[in-house]
Amino acid sequence: MLAAQRGLSPDRAGIDAVLDGFKSLDPHPDVRPAMERLRAAGLTVATLSNGGFEATRMGVDEIQRYKPGPAIYLHGARTLGLEPSRMVMVAVHAWDLQGARRAGLRTGWGSRLEKVWDPAMEPPDVSGPDLLAVAEGIVQLG
């Protein structure tokens, strides 16, 4: 989409090279300590992606529904055997959290990407400058 918006038409090989690159991206430095903090508090940590299952613990390929539609979040809850209200979706994308909220999940937003929460959206339950701060807030939610 970005290429088309800029008047570019990449060939198939170029598109495939970019998509393959996503498989080897390193996580942001705040991801590992945030996940470790949540696990240390006894919380289950899982990933939910619009990508396939091979790259994550839960993916849209299982139900052919995409975020931010509620079906994928509810599928995650069923897979984990949890009520949606007992889950917290953590993301740096506000749109992802709005979808999770519509499915009945609580939300945690890291502001490192978007910086400012869009006032047209219902605010997250927890927010912070990075995922470690968000994880700490989730632990405090109880």
| 70 pLDDT more than 60 | yes
**Other CB atoms within 10 Å distance of the CB of residue 139:** 15
Confidence at residue 142, expressed as pLDDT on a 0 to 100 scale: 76
The mean of the pLDDT values for the chain is 85
* Angstrom distance (rounded) from CA 72 to CA 132: 25
Confidence at residue 60, expressed as pLDDT on a 0 to 100 scale: 56
Q: With CA atoms as reference, report the closest residue to 76 among 59, 64, 91, 54.
A: 59
| 116 pLDDT more than 70 | yes
Confidence at residue 29, expressed as pLDDT on a 0 to 100 scale: 95
CA distances from 6 to 3, 12, 18, 25, 114 (A): 5, 17, 17, 24, 22
For residue 54, name the pLDDT band (cuts at 50, 70, 90). low
Per-domain residue ranges for the chain? 28-141
| Class of domain 28-141 (CATH, top level) | alpha beta
* Angstrom distance (rounded) from CA 98 to CA 95: 5
* One-letter amino acid for residue 24 of the chain: S
* Angstrom distance (rounded) from CA 135 to CA 137: 5
Percentage of the residues of the chain whose pLDDT score is greater than 70: 85
CA distances from 127 to 5, 66, 82, 132 (A): 32, 24, 23, 10
Confidence at residue 58, expressed as pLDDT on a 0 to 100 scale: 60
| 66 pLDDT more than 90 | no
| 16 pLDDT more than 70 | yes
